[in-house]
Chain A
Amino acid sequence: MQDKKGYVSFVLHAHLPFIHHPESDDYLEETWLFEAISETYIPLLLNFQKLVEEKVDFRITMSMTPPLLSMLDNKLLQRKYIKYLKRLIELSKKEIERTKYDERLNKLSHYYYDRYSNDLHVFKDIYNCNIIQGFKHFQDIGVLEIITCGATHGYFPILYVNEKTVKAQIAVGVQTYERYFGRKPRGIWLPECGYVPEADKYLKEFGIEYIITETHGILYADPTPVYGTFAPIVSPEGVIAFGRDLESSRQVWSSINGYPGDFNYREFYRDIGYEADYDYIKPYIAHNGVRVHTGIKYYRITGKTEFKDYYNVQWAKDSAEKQAGHFLDSRNAQIDNVSQYMPNPPLILCPYDAELYGHWWYEGPYWLYILFKKVYYDDCNFKLITPSEYIDKYPEMQVASPCRSSWGANGYSEVWLNPTNDYAHRHLHVAGDRMCELASLFPNAKGLKKKALNQCARELLLAQSSDWLFIITNGTMVDYAKKRIKDHIGRFTKLYYQIKDDKIDEDFLKDISKKDCVFPDIDYMLYY
């Protein structure tokens, strides 16, 4: 193990916005969480478990955002997920009957029946309905490093005009992490990798050692880092920045020839929710009768035409194995090349959205599993490492200020600030200022006023989620995103006046506290 020439660090960013509607069963957006649990989080856990059982020494890093943790820990959503699984199991049972006419299809129906039944078993019997325990376990045994994120994934490069709102995002991110993992996070995934140097002092204040940045966060740093993205840098304030490697990203991500486009892989867009006979599928689609994804998909990508062949689980696995081999060879070659120019072994940082693995790229978790096995067993010039381990091993790094940047399209703030969503920012800024005003007007409040002030902080944080702005830019489900901004700003503003006029409506406060029940321990004095 001593003679490894370099290191590879996988960082998966697991995030979903806080979606919790106790008032109704009609919100389709709640199923995002359920799909992500079944397609990404449980498959990752199962593959980690397999690796541990097979005694494969591996390392992986994941950021788990506070809204995601809050939802995974939410009793109502846990019950709803079980209901979701039971419906899918019922549907796949029906599918086994319906597809008897075709052996290949029938085999797939059985596959889905087994898979969703196993999800239910894993969720209920192994993790007792709370899969956070699973991730915590792998962190505790040392193969997984979990890092935190901003409280609600608020985008720092726009929020920082009021620095206290950035401070609160960081503080609540760290507190939520401690609540679930029983220790302090060493690293943070900056929401959207949005870096501003103004956040450094707060990152330091709350004990954060390192951040993940986009490639040009390092390449355009001041002064220019001599080792590019192949070594971390440290900012003058003392925050360490790891930059995304371009080549490995491209292999997984490229829309033109990235791995997930392999013709043997499962086709995301063909789902029986859209294709099955309407009366047959109606109980399993949206309440209002709109066709949606069910999770049962029978086709593979096949090619670039509309013609799609049936999915074949074994073929897909073969492709994943081939691609894992390709990834391994590419990293070997890359590290051979780069290590000649560096005194320390180079680090290749590979950050991705966790939900790419499994949700978009159905075979992604299996690909990771095979890759990690290959790294361990095959002839390979690198080792897997977490950013924290790298820091501990090679604590000397170049001093440079990372560049203001993000990982969104074109690398700066266009995704979260453009003519489709720029109307929102003045409201978010005013609400941020008003929150600070409330904290200074009513410091250390008690009783009902304190409850109301804390709820104000929750509403502000929920309004700041970068997801709403992203969805508006993206152009799908825009109404829901706009409604969420309106609702949280609306609830905040109403409470703001009630607190100032000393006329807090208890029923109203109770109602919204039930709906927006994130961060039970929040303290509004963060904005003081």
Chain B
Amino acid sequence: MPRKTKETPEIENEAKKKVVKKAESKEKTSSKKTATTKESTTAKKVAEKKETKKATAKSSSTKKTSKKEPLKSTTTKATAENKTSRKKAVSTKKETAKKATTKASAKKLTTKKTSKNMDIVEYYDLPYRYNQTIVKILAQTPTTLFIYWDISDEDRENYKKQFGENFFETTKPVLKIFNDTMNYNFEIEINDFANSWYLHIADSKCDYRVELGRRPIYNPADIGGTDYVYISSSNEIEAPNDKILIDKVQNMVYFRNVKTNQLTGRSFASLSLLRNMGKIYNIYDLYKELYKDENLYNPSSKFF
């Protein structure tokens, strides 16, 4: 689609842009548009640069950031960033709003510096983490699970107290996957650079849950002789079904009248249901064969 979207400028430029706009509207000059477009084109470039940097840093720094003092939340981060941006915003304001009445600008600069600017400058970034111990699983497809996790700083400290200062250096993270429908489990080794994982599973339409734990890398003696430390368990989900359950056809087929709630069971054989059902499902087989190269799912997919 050749549609273009407005770029998302990073904080400093966003701040500048808005202040410029504000100042100008006060002055009621006609140069509004040229000024803002200029700003936003520079913003574009900066934003692009910054974003690529961030992306690369992110993938390799999970461990680092988690070890450092974590950002408590968006707000702490946002306010910190807002502060710097406000400074810049104020200085640009000084430059651009020269023509504006001195009264107005002075007032803004002195009294409304801290709280009032919040509704002018709005910039958010997603927090890197929420500092909670958590494992969550989702089904991406009938045979792929998506798993994400984190361990809170408090819990990290507790593990260190319990198993030694080097607990996280001498152990590696593992995921235990439990198939509770077919009653089996298996384990995979992950690494501390990741905070999420896609996992192939063999059996669709089964209940799954995942456990996050750690195992010693070299010697169980490093962590007091145990060879597995439990960290946390996930929610339980059912992976979707991916086939016609023809082999599960029962002797009775149940029909419900949704108005009266009356339930009627009919024997499969007596109604020649099986024959008709076969005919109907032949239609789908024919389809599969005829259109096997086409994606029959929603290709129009929205407006954009």
- Which residues of chain A have a CB within 8 Å of any CB of chain B? 15-16, 26-29, 32, 35-36, 157-158, 161, 209, 214-215, 219-224, 226-228, 230, 234, 238, 240, 246-247, 249-250, 253-256, 269, 274, 286-293, 337-338, 340-342, 352-353, 355-356, 359-360, 391-392, 395-399, 403-405, 407-414, 417-419, 422-427, 429-430, 467, 470-471, 474, 476-480, 482-483, 485-487, 489-491, 493-494, 497, 505, 507-508, 510-511
B140 touches A418 (CB 8 A): yes
Which residue of chain B has the shortest Cβ distance to A222 in the bound complex? B245
- A493 contact set on B, CB distance < 8 A: 73-75, 124, 127
A479 touches B7 (CB 8 A): yes
B32, chain A: closest CB distance, angstroms: 11
B287 touches A247 (CB 8 A): yes
* A221, A238, A250, A404, most chain B CB atoms within 10 A: A404
B124 touches A219 (CB 8 A): no
Complex Cα–Cα for A427 and B74 (A)? 11
14 contacts between A and B (CB under 8 A): A15-B302, A224-B245, A228-B284, A254-B291, A397-B258, A399-B255, A409-B295, A417-B138, A419-B198, A423-B126, A425-B148, A490-B78, A491-B122, A508-B119
Chain B 142-182 interface 0/1 with A at a Cβ cutoff of 8 Å (1 = within): 10001010100000000000000000000000000000000
Asked whether any CB of chain A lies closer than 8 Å to the CB of B221, the reply is: no
B295, chain A: closest CB distance, angstroms: 6
A199, chain B: closest CB distance, angstroms: 13
Complex Cα–Cα for A467 and B303 (A)? 10
- B298 contact set on A, CB distance < 8 A: 253, 353, 407-409
B257 touches A396 (CB 8 A): yes
A222 touches B248 (CB 8 A): yes
A254, chain B: closest CB distance, angstroms: 6
Specify which of A293, A353, A404, A491 is in contact with B240 (CB 8 Å cutoff).
A404
Interface-located stretch among B88-96, B101-109, B273-281: B273-281
A429 touches B136 (CB 8 A): yes
Which residue of chain B has the shortest Cβ distance to A492 in the bound complex? B74
Complex Cα–Cα for A97 and B289 (A)? 54
- B37 contact set on A, CB distance < 8 A: 287-289
B74 touches A405 (CB 8 A): no
Specify which of A254, A287, A408 is in contact with B33 (CB 8 Å cutoff).
A287
Specify which of A28, A234, A404, A490 is in contact with B139 (CB 8 Å cutoff).
A404
- A255 contact set on B, CB distance < 8 A: 294-295, 299
**A-B contact number at CB 8 A:** 263
Asked whether any CB of chain A lies closer than 8 Å to the CB of B57, the reply is: no
Asked whether any CB of chain A lies closer than 8 Å to the CB of B238, the reply is: yes
- A338 contact set on B, CB distance < 8 A: 280, 283
Which residue of chain A has the shortest Cβ distance to B196 in the bound complex? A422
- A490 contact set on B, CB distance < 8 A: 74, 78, 122-126
Asked whether any CB of chain A lies closer than 8 Å to the CB of B296, the reply is: yes
A404 touches B238 (CB 8 A): yes
Complex Cα–Cα for A239 and B148 (A)? 32
Specify which of B136, B255, B264, B291 is in contact with A250 (CB 8 Å cutoff).
B291
Asked whether any CB of chain A lies closer than 8 Å to the CB of B184, the reply is: no
Complex Cα–Cα for A403 and B245 (A)? 11
Asked whether any CB of chain A lies closer than 8 Å to the CB of B25, the reply is: no
* B40, B124, B298, most chain A CB atoms within 10 A: B298
A355 touches B240 (CB 8 A): no
B273, chain A: closest CB distance, angstroms: 5
Q: Given contact pairs A256-B294, A410-B141, enumerate 16 new A-B contacts (beta carbons under 8 Å).
A: A28-B6, A219-B244, A337-B283, A338-B283, A341-B277, A397-B255, A403-B241, A410-B295, A414-B141, A427-B126, A477-B304, A480-B6, A486-B124, A486-B126, A497-B75, A511-B119
